[in-house]
């Protein structure tokens, strides 16, 4: 995979309730390990494990709150899948800065929750990458300084690590086409 880049948060908005997807994996995760998620094929942010205590949640070191039901999850090698399609027993890549490992999903947990939409602009480009994540203190994204940043504490101007990509998928496989995704 190409190296991660820095993206600056340019917009944050509460957008109402929807179905969020938690991936409960069959092993303990590192606090800075997570999955690549995105609203579009333009790229992905790193949703980190729930491997930390917050004021309202105990640690869940096996879980990644991967956001909205419609999200792409990057499977590496130019492949994606919708979170809505992930099933127990499937393997997903877990990213820990530059290292990855495949790990099986033990359970997929769907619940109605409030969401925020976070839009970032990749540094020195016009490319925008966005995610839709649960509005909760248990959701952390990987910051530009490679620390965990609570999604609800993000402000415009904050920097996150991103993996830019090119849109154009058919059944999760990368294809060449002209496409615009917002």
Percentages of the chain per state (helix, strand, coil), in multiples of 5: 5, 60, 40
**β-sheet bridge partners, residue 12:** 118
Residue 137 pLDDT > 70: yes
Confidence of residue 1 (pLDDT cuts 50, 70, 90): very low
- Which pLDDT score is estimated for 77? 84
Q: Which two tokens stand for residue 107?
A: 């359970």
User: pLDDT by residue (tens digit) across 34-77?
Assistant: 999 999 989 999 999 999 988 888 999 999 999 999 999 999 88
Q: Write the pLDDT tens digit of every residue in 120-135.
A: 999 999 999 999 999 9
Per-residue model confidence (pLDDT) at position 172 = 54
CA quadruple 106, 92, 4, 19: dihedral sign: negative
Average pLDDT of the segment spanning 130-145: 97
- Please give the Cα distance from 96 to 42 (Å, whole number): 21
Q: How many Cβ atoms are within 10 Å of 105's Cβ, its own excluded?
A: 17
């Amino acid at each position: 995979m190409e190296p991660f880049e820095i993206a600056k948060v340019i917009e944050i908005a509460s957008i109402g309730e929807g179905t969020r997807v938690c991936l409960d994996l069959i092993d303990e995760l590192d606090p800075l390990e997570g999955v690549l998620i995105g609203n579009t094929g333009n790229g992905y942010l790193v949703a980190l494990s729930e491997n930390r205590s917050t004021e309202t949640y105990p640690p869940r070191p096996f879980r990644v709150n991967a956001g909205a039901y419609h999200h792409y999850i990057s499977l590496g090698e130019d492949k994606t899948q919708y979170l809505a399609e992930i099933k127990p027993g499937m393997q997903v890549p877990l990213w820990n800065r530059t290292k990855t490992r495949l790990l099986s999903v033990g359970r997929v947990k769907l619940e109605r929750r409030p969401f925020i939409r976070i839009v970032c602009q990749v540094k020195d480009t016009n490319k925008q990458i966005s995610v839709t994540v649960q509005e909760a203190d248990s959701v952390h994204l990987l910051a530009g300084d490679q620390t965990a940043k609570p999604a609800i504490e993000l402000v415009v101007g904050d920097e996150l690590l991103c993996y830019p990509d090119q849109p154009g998928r058919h059944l999760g496989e990368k294809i060449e086409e002209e496409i615009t995704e917002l």
